[in-house]
Amino acid sequence: MSTRRDAVRQALTESTGFRSAQDLYADLRADGSKIGLTTVYRALQALSDSGQVDVLRTDDGEAVYRACDTESHHHHLVCRVCSTAVEIEGPAVERWAVEMGAKHGFTGVTHTLEVFGTCARCS
């Protein structure tokens, strides 16, 4: 609906990597948009709530977002230099996580898994 939210989604889609709210805000302003920082945060919140973008936290706690090709469960192989990411899947890991949970009496098991490295271009 909202043009603003679309602008944020668009900006995110143009990148293959994870971007922070501040990054996106800077990009949009640089492109001439009059968007406010608050709106960027609101858009990202909405987009992640609806599962349209993936979120993860950098080591220093900053939230970074990515518009992924698929909305189904997957993980990422992220370049620690340029933050470019590749979507990856690991069926075996999914099973392992659930098994581990069951083994220790945990219910409602979920997991977070991200793989980091330096991509070919950045090496």
Partner DNA sequence: TCACATTTTGACAATCATTTTCGTTTTCGC
Partner DNA sequence: GCGAAAACGAAAATGATTGTCAAAATGTGA
* Contact region with a second copy (CB under 8 A), list: 10-18, 27-35, 66-74, 101-109: 101-109
CA–CA separation, 43 and 55 (whole Å): 13
CA–CA separation, 111 and 109 (whole Å): 7
- By CB under 7 A, name the one of 37, 56, 86, 98 that touches DNA: 37
Q: How far is the CB of 17 from DNA (least distance, A)?
A: 16
Q: How far is the CB of 96 from a second copy (least distance, A)?
A: 5
Cα separation values, 113 from 15, 25, 40, 73, Å: 21, 27, 26, 11
Q: Using CB under 8 A, which residues numbered 39 to 58 contact a second copy?
A: 57
